[in-house]
Structure 1
Amino acid sequence: MTKITILTGAGISAESGLGTFRDEGGLWAQHRIEDVATPEGFARDPALVQEFYNMRRAQAAEAQPNAAHLALTQLQTDWPGEVVIVTQNVDDLHERAGTQGVLHMHGRLDSALCAACGHRWPAPARMEPGAPCPACHRPTARPDIVWFGEMPYFMDEIFDHLATTDLFAAIGTSGQVYPAAGFVQEATAAGAQTIELNLEPSATVSRFAQTRFGPATQTVPEWVRAVLAG
């Protein structure tokens, strides 16, 4: 076994204080997804959407990587083959833990995107409605986030990794959002071993050959130790 491909979701950052869609009382619970995470919502009320992501950006900036993030960095550092990290998360906790080359399929909070020309630049702490693009100067700056109804980033690269991986692990994902929910099938079809590490079984748990359940800060370090021990 030489190549490991790992998909991470909101569950790996939850213990760093970043809520998931389903957390009661969290940031997401205060808004309808249709209002803050779709192109149509942004067109209707850009001020609401920008403020929502300003709040998420501030929350993410205060969060710290946890033991699960650090364990994946150790795996990437110590594993003799390739370790590819694909994340559905828009925080930068993997990077701050030292992980290299993370593929953010749903975008990043610390990046801004011009809806007109496609230019990207580092997002300020606060983005305002109608902010100009530094490249084309049109007032079309938006968060560099893949909203519902938009195509995730790096899909060709991700599918290439899934087709050539020896082990596929999904950590802290709900299995409810496609195309990521279908990654286990792609990896299985390519002959990879598969494992789900999660607080509780996902919607696609039956498609994994192995499972480990519990908090990510416990299950991920334990699994990494086992993988590195051979």
Structure 2
Amino acid sequence: MEFVFLPQQAVVPVEGSKQLFPVHRIYCVGRNYAEHAKEMGDSGREAPFFFMKPADAVLPVAHGTVGEMPYPAMTKDLHHEIELVVALSSGGKNIPAAEAASHIYGYAVGLDMTRRDLQAEAKKLGRPWCTSKGFDQSAPISSIHPISVTGPIEHGAIHLNVNGQARQTGDINQLIWSIAETIEQLSNFYELRAGDLIFTGTPAGVAAVVKGDLLEGSVEGVGDLRLRLV
């Protein structure tokens, strides 16, 4: 058996080793911090909803470096969304929340970059969000830190500065749906697999960025992510 062309595999480096984490799917949780839900027009603890990005939307940024992301075409309103990312080493269907941690390989810091103007238009017309969320390099991500090093991440500061000015601040314990609950809910809709990445949601303070801006984000206990728009 031969491939028509050589398969291409999206990967993310593992911090402190030469290993690479092969990406299967990228799941994202919408409006999973109360204050962000309010700024986007929702309130209360509504059932979680999910959207996806292509696996090769990842833009890996090694620790200690500044990644570069080209400002995407077809938008005049690109927004940042800083997030804790969960990387899975195994999966399954209908995973109980109590067993969710056993499927976690590690954590990373990620940015869910969003063409907000395209998203607003899609919402108005009742259309999918694919072009606003799933474009090339729309998922910048730090190296993955194994849970064997970090321990379970259930709380800790999450923040994003743009050009040295604070934009987003929060704490992982403010998630409306915890990481375990998110894995449980996702596994009811999809069979989760090793290699899946879950962007767990963003705190309030999302806003536009332009070419030349420097984005510096971090999650306590995980690490940081530095990115410049070019």
Q: Normalization by structure 2: what TM-score?
A: 0.23
Greater share of helix residues, 1 or 2?
1
Structure number with the bigger relative contact order (C-alpha 8 A, sep ≥ 6) is 2
Higher Cα radius of gyration: 1
Greater share of strand residues, 1 or 2?
2
